[in-house]
């Protein structure tokens, strides 16, 4: 089976997000902990305004919180733009070898190999092709993950 399709930037960004699913699941607890620490340090500064260390620590926590929230998305968009500069047209020949992981989200199926990845939008797949992909890839993949997007 051969697939020829044109990929959109949002689909490629979602595929890149799917590749980082292990890191993404720790993002919400990290944000909650940083927010609580920031609120605690602001409360310490409010109680004792002469304690400038608490104020500077809260500013530092806000900066780290900003990086945790916005840097991954910015890096994904930048990497997607770099990949799309090479070309939006993709061609995949099946069967694939050395599949490490298959990650399925609502809009894309991402196939991770040792040194590359494939992002296949579900909009280009017919029902029989989707069934073929699941039957061919899921048994040979080391890990199959379904990500909510």
Cα–Cα–Cα angle for 13, 18, 24, nearest 5°? Answer: 105
Q: What is the pLDDT of residues 26-55, one digit of tens each?
A: 888 999 999 999 999 999 999 999 999 999
Check whether 61 has a pLDDT greater than 90. Answer: yes
Q: What is the pLDDT of residue 13?
A: 92
Give the separation between CA 9 and CA 131, rounded to whole angstroms: 25
Q: What is the pLDDT of residue 46?
A: 94
Give the separation between CA 7 and CA 117, rounded to whole angstroms: 14
Q: Indicate the average pLDDT of the chain.
A: 88
Check whether 116 has a pLDDT greater than 90. Answer: no
Q: What share of the chain is helix, strand, coil (3-state, %, to 5)?
A: 55, 20, 20
Strand partners, 80: none
């Amino acid at each position: 089976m051969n697939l020829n399709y044109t990929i959109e930037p949002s689909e490629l960004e979602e595929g890149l997000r799917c590749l980082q699913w292990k890191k993404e699941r720790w993002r919400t607890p990290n944000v909650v902990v940083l927010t609580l620490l920031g609120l605690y340090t602001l409360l310490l500064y409010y109680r004792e305004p002469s304690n400038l260390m608490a104020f500077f620590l809260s500013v530092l926590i806000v900066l780290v919180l900003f990086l945790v929230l916005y840097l991954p998305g910015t890096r994904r968009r930048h990497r997607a733009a770099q990949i799309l500069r090479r070309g939006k047209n993709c061609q995949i020949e099946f069967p694939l070898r050395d599949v490490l992981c298959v990650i399925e989200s609502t809009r894309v199926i991402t196939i991770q190999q040792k040194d590359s990845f494939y992002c296949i939008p579900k909009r280009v797949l017919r029902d029989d092709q989707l069934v073929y992909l699941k039957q061919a890839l899921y048994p040979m993949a080391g890990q199959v993950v379904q990500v909510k997007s």
